[in-house]
Amino acid sequence: MTTPTPEKIVDVRLVVPAQRHPLVFGTFERLKPGESFVLVNDHDPRPLYYQFQAEHTGQFSWDYLEKGPAVWKVRVGRI
């Protein structure tokens, strides 16, 4: 019996804003189909969702796990 690999957490709250999207997209690019990571942010990452829609249409999943007000968590997966 194998132990499931813990899901990767990408906490961008202390990352310089200009580096947040590149970090998230770099993490996404390294995912294999069926894998995911949890994005942790200090605000609703809706603009990031729109960027995923524009650049990776049909290739990602986006599931809110926590919706603020102080912490937002989203599971981002590769389809």
The model's pLDDT over 36-65, given as tens digits with 9 standing for 90+, comes to 999 999 999 999 999 999 999 999 999 999
Buried b (16+ CB within 10 A) or exposed e, 34-46: eebbbbbbeeebe
Q: How confident is the model at residue 6 (pLDDT cuts 50, 70, 90)?
A: confident
In this structure, which CATH number among 3.30.930.10, 3.30.390.10, 3.30.110.40, 3.40.50.460 belongs to the domain 8-78? 3.30.110.40
Mean of all residue pLDDT scores within the chain: 94
- In the chain, where the domains are located: 8-78
- Contact call for residues 2 and 32 (beta carbons, < 8 A): no
Is residue 2 over pLDDT 80?
A: no
Model's pTM, two decimal places? 0.91
Pairing of strands 8-11, 36-41: parallel
Return the closest-CA partner of residue 54 out of 21, 11, 7: 21
